[in-house]
Amino acid sequence: MLKRLYPGGKAKAFNVTYDDGVLQDVRFVELMNKYGLKGTFNLNSGLMETEFEWVHPKGMTVKRLPTAVVAQLYQNHEVASHTLTHPYLSSLTEAQIMEEMARDKENLERLTGKPVLGFGGPFHHWGPEVVECAKRCGFEYARNAEERYCYAPPEEYYYWSAGSYHIMPGFRDFVEGFFHTQEELALCQIVGHTYDLDAEDMWDYIESVLQRVAQDESILSMTNLELVRYLKAMRSAVITEQEIQNPSDLPLWFERDGSLICVEPAGRATLEV
Ligand SMILES: [Zn+2]
């Protein structure tokens, strides 16, 4: 039996994707860095220099971070677009959606000094016009807000489902199951906002999850962009009884009869029968 693996021969991948770029990101990113994990942070560059804030139903005020902290705070992580101003995309024309995406991408690239190639949509609206704009803006994937409580990685890169939302019922069982699953290419993707960790008093719990992920030799922490690129490469592999061909530009990892196989970019590996 040939089993597909993540980079470095890891059986499972873990990702945290948090939106909006709020003050609580500072505490959360410190935790991620403490455990050497990588996440994806979707920012609205147009709201960062405003006094924009709102009151959470639990009473706390939710505030955005200033742009000055972006480069340093998120330097070990993926910064992705979340549109310029967090609008309801369903109420915008295609030209306005393009403007929201393109200007945010441009701003975030200037702030981080790196290409910004991921997009996560605000609110719940999703459709072909959003996907089309994301492609035209040069994003390599676009994430919607659809939840999924399974460990199989998404198949669609522009209908990338959000993963499990960390304040929903069943979330803790989903995470616990991930540590025990034997599914091929198992992925645990957590989405939400760091202010929820205050609102739901989840800081200790989330730290315990990060600590377990860091200590588990079978799990690799990846950004959304790394996941998308690796899965595309893995799905391009041509696997026969005799060999594996890797047409991609990334090394691909497999396990067979307890042995690790790494197939180099544009390379092939013979499978002994
Ligand atoms: Zn948002």
Three state DSSP letters for 187-222: EEEEEECCHHHHHCCCHHHHHHHHHHHHHCCCEEEC
Token readout for 121 is 């949509």
CA 264 from centroid of its chain's CA atoms: 25
What per-residue confidence (pLDDT) applies to 210?
A: 98
pLDDT for 180 = 98
Q: Is the pLDDT reported for residue 273 higher than 80?
A: no
> For residue 123, how far is its CA from the centre of ligand 1 (angstroms)?
6
Same domain flag for 161 and 217: yes
Q: Collapse the DSSP code of 20 into the 3-class scheme (helix H, G, I; strand E, B; otherwise coil) and give the result.
A: coil
Question: In terms of domains, do 227 and 245 share one?
Answer: no
Order of strands across the sheet that contains 252-256: 2-5, 252-256, 259-263
* Whole-number Cα distances in Å, 254 to 117, 167, 244: 27, 34, 10
Using an 8 Å Cβ cutoff, are 42 and 17 in contact? yes
Q: Residue 91's pLDDT is what?
A: 93
| Nearest Cα to Cα of residue 17 among 106, 119, 97 | 119
* pLDDT higher than 90, residue 163: no
Residues 186 and 245 in one domain: no
Residues 103, 220 within the same domain: yes
pLDDT score for 125? 87
Strands 12-19 and 219-221: parallel
Count of domains observed in the chain: 2
Distance from residue 232's CA to the centre of ligand 1 (Å): 26
- What is the C-alpha separation between 196 and 81, in angstroms, rounded? 20
Q: Are residues 125 and 53 in the same domain?
A: yes
Instruction: Please tell me the pTM assigned to this model.
Output: 0.95
Q: Which pLDDT score, from 0 to 100, does residue 61 have?
A: 85
Q: Which residue segment(s) compose the domain that 259 sits in?
A: 238-270
pLDDT-derived band of residue 248, with 50, 70 and 90 as boundaries?
very high
Residue 249 and residue 183 in one domain: no
- Output the CA 102–ligand 1 centroid distance in Å: 17
Residue 3 in any domain: the answer is: no
* Same domain flag for 196 and 82: yes
Residue 147 burial class via C-beta count within 10 angstroms: exposed 0-12, middle 13-18, buried 19 and up:
middle
Same domain, 111 and 147: yes
Q: Does some domain include residue 4?
A: no
DSSP sequence for 98-116? HHHHHHHHHHHHHHHSS--
- pLDDT tens by residue, 56-106: 888 888 899 999 999 999 999 999 999 999 999 999 999 999 999 999 999
Same domain, residue pair 28 and 141? yes
| Tens-digit pLDDT profile for residues 165-217 | 888 888 999 999 999 999 999 999 999 999 999 999 999 999 999 999 999 99
124 alpha carbon to ligand 1 midpoint, in Å?
A: 10
